Amino acid sequence: MKKSMSAAYLPGNSTVLLKEVPIPEPGYGEVLIKMKSSKILGIGELVWDVFPAGKQLGGAPVNFAFFAKELGAEAYPVAALGNDQLGDEAFEMLKPTGLSLDYIQRNSMPTSRVLVTTDDQGIPQYEIVENVAWDSMECNPEVLALASEADVICWGSLAQRSEKSRESILKILDAAPETCLMVFDINIRQKFYSAEIIHESLNRADILKLNEDELPIVSELFNIEGTQAEQIASIISKYNLKSVIFTQGAVCSEVYDPAGLVSRMETPKVNVADTVGAGDSFTATYITAVLLGKSIAEAHALAVKVAAYVCTQNGAINPLPEDCRSSRQ
């Protein structure tokens, strides 16, 4: 039986601090009210990022779930690993994170490896191996039941490169309730995308996350012209999106809604180890902070802070320090 819970502390300065505390017993004349935490799903690839110095566990949807959990959400990665040594190692690596591993499937395909090299600025280049475990994801009743209770689902284009996984992902998305916030983190990699894949996902999305390299690709696929802001406005209008999160690396990040630019913040200067997982942490932090009731500006500021911290670490899945876990700015 669980002996602790996440509690919200309101210190009176417009912040919300989440702390793990023992579950209290109701006293005489008291009622214990347990607030429902947000249920967040990250669906797609689970990989070993293989760097020259060693390997780190990652994959955009799993990174998303991890950082949502770090900020107090009930987070579930939905992915697949092989029945092999790398798959066993991945499970052992994930156990201390506190993520539920009940929806990570095992199959006969090999566990995914991604060969990662970084340039002098820590910007990664990926060589993604094909025909791996997450190319054979199943859509089973347990996953559909989980999706039917979701508050947020995040997915991307990469895990849809195989027909089998794509069909599974779309079925899972279609099982979500109407109240679920649908986040499409486009995550374009190598040749593993198409206009059809992106179109079908955007039709299901409320929020699109993309970066300065991905916007021109999407605009070319759909014959969208104009400035960056005009291209984003066209995408929002075409797909009736609630918002677009647009990150521009070391320069800045922006949030748009149907009325236009809502928030813009410069990227802080830090000593970069590598940028793997920075975008995933940004998206997870922004979405989770909004669910906690923060304003767009507050959520954006915290997302920038968390992503900057992630850039100072090797790999993506590293615990956040306390000042990044709270909404204190």
Distance CA 63, CA 31 (A): 37
Nearest-angstrom CA–CA distance, 105 and 13: 44
Torsion, Cα 97 100 102 104, to 10 degrees, reads -50
Cβ-based burial of 88 (10 A; exposed 0-12, middle 13-18, buried ≥19): middle
CATH 3.40.1190.20 fits 38-325, yes or no: yes
* Structural domain spans, the chain: 38-325
Please report, in tens digits, the pLDDT of each residue of the chain (329 residues total): 555 655 444 333 333 444 555 655 554 444 433 445 789 999 999 999 888 888 888 888 889 999 999 999 999 999 999 999 999 999 999 999 989 999 999 999 999 988 878 777 767 777 888 899 999 999 999 999 999 999 999 999 999 999 999 999 999 999 999 999 999 999 888 888 999 999 999 999 999 999 999 999 999 999 999 999 999 999 999 999 999 999 999 999 999 999 999 999 999 999 998 888 899 999 999 999 999 899 999 999 999 999 999 999 988 888 899 888 764 34
- Closest by CA to 246, choosing from 313, 257, 82, 237, is 257
Q: Are 13 and 119 in contact, with CB atoms under 8 Å apart? A: no
What pTM does this model have?
Answer: 0.85
> Residue 174 and residue 143: Cα distance in Å, rounded?
12
